């Protein structure tokens, strides 16, 4: 058993910040668990610009928010920035305040009650009925707290959240606060950052109350391996006992059901950890690598408490697959993977980075339409709802933490960076879709402090999960980089024909081939091109092609495709990720017309010319795997004499 993966989240003290980092299973209803959503309209308030700490100083959490300040209605989940017509709110830096009242069900009097936030960006402080109950730093990751003793059952409760989006050299990601002059109001705080996406803020994902029995399943860890026609499923269940006030392992029953709800075990497994053997399993395959991709079993765990009170039942979807890697390949179920996909963003008009199931569904539909098999969660962890769909549909995920453009490698930052990775791996360790961990995007790895920093980062990840390869998207040249030596897979970002040699389509193919070769020559590891592309204004057409036109984007991608096909024959080039899947919002600058326009889809998810070009390539690559037929609408009929 991979002890490293199973020993970290069992109630032990985390060695990074000294915090208790226990299991954090996704809330699922069962015979023993209920889930209540607190999503909807919340009261929302912004402190005065000249006194941003007024809410804290005046204890706005101690009474109804509307009694102490002016409030408006704010949808949760959402980013608050684009909801109103206020420029000051869009560009606000500092704390804002949310409040929600809810009724505590009397039926929950024998249960333990937990409050869970899917994501709050960036810093959250949470009060229940005037009492501070938890805080959390770093966005894009869930956190929860037990509120059994704070919730009034049979009455109304007041939940207050302060959210602060301020970034500094000690946050993940980093930023800087500067003062800017105004004509009438004096200096104002402005947030600056080097990363190229808008710093959306707010309560971005669902807020849930959920119950667990007095003695409950705290965590489940699963690792799967495949040998010929036999699957090995290693599991560990951690149970919290109220009586012992510590993590224990009492009576645990484990069953495994297929997609048709048939129990595939010859007998129920007894014990908090063990090994299941499944003959002739249905393996989890990526989309287009099998006729039935994304096959999921259900691991059903039942715990009866020591005092024979209410049992706890949790059902965890799992996929049976095995990941391996060497100095040329990443393999799934013994077959090498060629990654064809995109960098993305969680970004939509009005909603910002707020969870939007319609956008998630549309994105995965378009990924299927275009023939992709993968995407990178650039540049932060995506929602659990998105990854649930990726698990089910068979998309491969490179799961990235929120570290972007890091250039000051301090010991304080290292602790927070490690913690963000701990929380990410705790959340996604059981997902079959998650194929690789990405520990950073475009860190300044030429800096002299970067080697020791990333050695510690990668070692931390390997301690938590030795079953997946580790990568980072590197922007410096092979000659300058000092971090690739610690990675399992080299991923690099380069914009030939755009930021480099703008307009020079003739230079792209050769330059890209040279760099791929240089990365492998230096590190002898598999190589992925993690970002390349060109900004494109939809509807702008130029013949011959010209920068910003749809024709130029299509041609630039085509020049890269030539390089990729030549380098694939070398055996160590294993993937291509277009930047970007769809246009997205950035900070204001004269180089960004309404945001970053490198998407092959517009921000409202409609195709540009390049999308049809990419679709032909990706489906041709998928057809090489021999498991699926290409769509019959890749070409439109033109003439019976057309060849």
Three-state SS string across 430-494, please?
CCCCEEEEEEEECCCCCCCCHHHHHHHHHHHHHHHCCCCCEEEEECCCCCCCCCHHHCCCEEEEC
Question: What pLDDT does residue 535 have?
Answer: 98
Q: What angle do CA 370, 373, 376 make, to 5 degrees?
A: 105
Total domain count, the chain: 3
Whether residues 221 and 204 fall in one domain: no
Name the pLDDT band for 250 (thresholds 50, 70, 90). low
Whether residue 453 is contained in a domain is answered as yes
Contact 381, 143 (CB under 8 A): no
Whether residues 463 and 356 fall in one domain: yes
State the DSSP string of 110-159: TSEEEEEES-EESEEEEEETTEEEEEEESSSS-EEEE-TTT--BTSEEEE
Whether residues 356 and 446 fall in one domain: yes
Q: How far is CA 111 from the centre of its chain?
A: 31
* Euclidean distance between CA atoms 587 and 235, whole angstroms: 45
Q: Which residues contact 149 (CB under 8 A, 6 or more apart)?
A: none
Catalytically annotated residues: 442
Whether residues 197 and 221 fall in one domain: no
Q: Which residue is it, tokens 């505590």?
A: 104
Whether residue 17 is contained in a domain is answered as no
The widest CA-to-CA distance across the chain, in whole angstroms, is: 81
Burial class (CB in 10 A: 0-12, 13-18, 19+), 145: middle
Q: Which residues contact 478 (CB under 8 A, 6 or more apart)?
A: 484, 492, 515, 518, 519, 521, 522
Domain CATH number, residue 309: 2.60.40.10
Among candidate residues 195, 242, 237, the one with its CA nearest the CA of residue 217: 237
Whether residues 449 and 486 fall in one domain: yes
Name the pLDDT band for 6 (thresholds 50, 70, 90). very low
How does the average pLDDT of the chain come out, rounded?
93
Whether residue 292 is contained in a domain is answered as yes
CA atoms within 13 A on the CB side of 75: 14
* Euclidean distance between CA atoms 557 and 583, whole angstroms: 16
Question: What pLDDT does residue 5 have?
Answer: 46
Burial class (CB in 10 A: 0-12, 13-18, 19+), 568: middle
* pLDDT tens for each residue of 179-225: 888 777 777 788 999 999 999 999 999 999 999 999 999 999 999 99
* Overall pTM > 0.75: yes
Contact 392, 184 (CB under 8 A): no
Q: What percent of the chain has pLDDT over 90?
A: 87
Whether residues 56 and 72 fall in one domain: yes
- pLDDT average, residue stretch 438-449: 95
Whether residues 105 and 91 fall in one domain: yes
* pLDDT tens for each residue of 36-87: 999 999 999 999 999 999 999 999 999 999 999 999 999 999 999 999 999 9
Whether residues 205 and 283 fall in one domain: no
* Euclidean distance between CA atoms 545 and 548, whole angstroms: 9
Q: What angle do CA 277, 282, 285 make, to 5 degrees?
A: 120
Question: What pLDDT does residue 305 have?
Answer: 60
Q: What sign does the dihedral 329-334-335-337 (CA atoms) show?
A: negative
Whether residue 174 is contained in a domain is answered as yes
Question: What pLDDT does residue 281 have?
Answer: 97
* Euclidean distance between CA atoms 643 and 499, whole angstroms: 37
Q: Tally Cβ neighbours within 10 Å of residue 213.
A: 21
Q: Which residues contact 535 (CB under 8 A, 6 or more apart)?
A: 498, 547, 548, 553, 593, 596, 597, 598
Residue 243 confidence (pLDDT) above 70: no
Whether residue 38 is contained in a domain is answered as yes
Question: What pLDDT does residue 309 have?
Answer: 54
Which among 180, 212, 244 is the end of a domain? Answer: 212
Whether residue 197 is contained in a domain is answered as yes
Report residue 634 as tokens: 């890749």
Question: What pLDDT does residue 251 have?
Answer: 84
Phi and psi for 564 in degrees, rounded to 5? -60, -45
Q: Which of 325-329, 408-412, 547-551 has the lowest mean pLDDT?
A: 408-412
Whether residues 50 and 123 fall in one domain: yes
* Euclidean distance between CA atoms 586 and 200, whole angstroms: 10
Name the pLDDT band for 269 (thresholds 50, 70, 90). confident
Report residue 332 as tokens: 């799934």
DSSP state of 581: S
Q: Tally Cβ neighbours within 10 Å of residue 413.
A: 19
Contact 193, 186 (CB under 8 A): no
Whether residues 379 and 492 fall in one domain: yes
Report residue 128 as tokens: 């229940």
Residue 353 confidence (pLDDT) above 60: yes
DSSP state of 513: H
Which among 296, 321, 346 is the end of a domain? Answer: 321
Contact 17, 415 (CB under 8 A): yes
Strands 490-493 and 470-474: parallel
* Euclidean distance between CA atoms 361 and 614, whole angstroms: 20
Report residue 603 as tokens: 């921000």
Helices 450-464 and 411-428 meet at what angle, rounded to 10? 30
State the DSSP string of 329-365: -EEETTEE--EEEEE----BTTTBTS--HHHHHHHHH
Question: What pLDDT does residue 184 have?
Answer: 73
- Give residue 66's domain range: 34-212
Residue 169 confidence (pLDDT) above 90: yes
- pLDDT average, residue stretch 221-233: 96
* Euclidean distance between CA atoms 211 and 28, whole angstroms: 10
Name the pLDDT band for 18 (thresholds 50, 70, 90). very low
Whether residues 236 and 208 fall in one domain: no
Whether residue 24 is contained in a domain is answered as no
Q: Which residue is it, tokens 């030939």?
A: 496
Residue 8 confidence (pLDDT) above 80: no
Domain CATH number, residue 419: 3.20.20.80
Residue 277 confidence (pLDDT) above 70: yes
Whether residue 182 is contained in a domain is answered as yes
| Three-class DSSP labels, 509-578 | HHHHHHHHHHHHHHHCCCEEEEECCCCECCCCCCCCCCCECHHHHHHHHHHHHHHHHHHHCCCCEEEEEE
* Euclidean distance between CA atoms 515 and 406, whole angstroms: 23
Q: Which residue is it, tokens 């795997």?
A: 625
Strands 339-343 and 573-578: parallel
Domain CATH number, residue 122: 2.60.120.260
Whether residues 339 and 310 fall in one domain: no
Which among 188, 212, 236 is the end of a domain? Answer: 212
What residues does 187 pair with on adjacent strands?
Answer: none
Question: What pLDDT does residue 627 have?
Answer: 80
Question: What pLDDT does residue 614 have?
Answer: 99
Residue 558 confidence (pLDDT) above 70: yes
- pLDDT average, residue stretch 108-126: 97
Among candidate residues 379, 474, 378, 407, the one with its CA nearest the CA of residue 169: 407
């Amino acid at each position: 058993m991979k002890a490293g993966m199973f020993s970290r989240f069992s109630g032990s003290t985390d060695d990074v910040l000294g915090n208790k980092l226990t299991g954090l299973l996704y809330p699922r209803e069962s015979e023993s668990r209920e889930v209540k959503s607190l999503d909807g309209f919340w009261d929302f308030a912004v402190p005065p610009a000249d006194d941003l700490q007024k809410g804290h100083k005046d204890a706005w959490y101690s009474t109804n928010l509307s009694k102490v300040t002016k409030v408006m209605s704010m949808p949760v989940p959402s980013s608050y920035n684009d909801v109103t017509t206020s420029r000051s709110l869009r560009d606000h830096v500092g704390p804002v305040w949310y409040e929600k009242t809810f009724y505590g069900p009397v039926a929950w009097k024998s249960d333990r009650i937990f409050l869970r936030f899917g994501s709050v960006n960036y810093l959250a402080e949470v009060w229940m009925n005037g009492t501070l109950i938890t805080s959390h730093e770093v966005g894009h990751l869930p956190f929860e707290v037990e509120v059994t003793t704070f919730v009034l059952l049979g009455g109304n409760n007041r939940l207050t959240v302060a959210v602060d989006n301020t970034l500094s050299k000690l946050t993940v990601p980093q930023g800087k606060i500067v003062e800017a002059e105004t004509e009438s109001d004096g200096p104002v705080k402005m947030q600056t950052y080097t990363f190229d996406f808008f710093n959306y803020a707010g309560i971005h994902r669902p807020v849930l109350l959920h119950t667990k029995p007095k003695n409950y399943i705290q965590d489940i860890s699963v690792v799967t391996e495949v040998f010929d026609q036999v699957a090995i499923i290693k599991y560990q269940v951690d149970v919290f006992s109220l009586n012992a006030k510590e993590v224990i392992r009492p009576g645990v029953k484990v069953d495994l059901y297929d997609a048709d709800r048939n129990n595939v075990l010859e007998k129920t497994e007894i014990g908090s950890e063990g090994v299941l053997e499944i003959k002739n399993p249905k393996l989890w395959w990526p989309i287009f690598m099998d006729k039935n991709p994304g096959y999921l079993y259900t691991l059903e765990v039942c715990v009866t408490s020591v005092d024979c009170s209410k049992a706890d039942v949790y059902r965890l979807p799992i996929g049976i697959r095995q990941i391996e890697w060497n100095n040329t390949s990443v393999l799934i179920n013994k077959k090498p993977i060629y990654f064809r996909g995109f960098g993305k963003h969680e970004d939509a008009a009005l909603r910002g980075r707020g969870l939007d199931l319609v956008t998630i569904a549309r994105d995965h539909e378009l990924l299927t339409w275009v023939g992709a098999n993968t995407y990178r969660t650039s540049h932060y962890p995506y929602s659990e709802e998105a990854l649930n769909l990726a698990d089910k549909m068979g998309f491969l995920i490179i799961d990235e933490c929120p570290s972007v453009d890091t250039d000051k490698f301090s010991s304080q930052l290292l602790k927070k960076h490690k913690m963000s990775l701990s929380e990410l791996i705790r959340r996604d360790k059981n997902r079959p879709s998650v194929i690789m961990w990405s520990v950073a995007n475009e860190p300044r790895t030429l800096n002299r402090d970067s080697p020791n920093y990333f050695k510690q980062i990668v070692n931390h990840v390997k301690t938590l999960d030795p079953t997946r390869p580790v990568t980072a998207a590197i922007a410096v040249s092979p000659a300058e980089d000092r971090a690739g030596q610690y990675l399992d897979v080299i991923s690099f970002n380069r914009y030939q024909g755009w930021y480099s040699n703008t307009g020079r389509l003739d230079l792209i193919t050769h330059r890209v081939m040279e760099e791929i070769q240089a990365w492998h020559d230096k590190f002898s590891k598999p190589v992925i091109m993690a970002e390349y592309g060109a900004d494109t204004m939809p509807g702008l057409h130029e013949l011959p092609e010209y920068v910003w036109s749809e024709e130029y984007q299509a041609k630039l991608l085509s020049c890269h495709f030539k390089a990729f096909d030549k380098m694939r024959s070398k055996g160590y080039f294993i993937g291509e990720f277009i930047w970007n899947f769809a246009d997205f919002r950035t900070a204001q600058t004269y180089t960004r017309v309404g945001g970053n326009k490198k998407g092959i889809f517009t921000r409202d998810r409609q195709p540009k010319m390049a999308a049809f070009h990419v679709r032909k390539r990706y489906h041709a690559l998928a057809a090489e795997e021999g498991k699926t037929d290409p769509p019959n609408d890749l070409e439109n009929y033109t003439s019976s004499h057309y060849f």
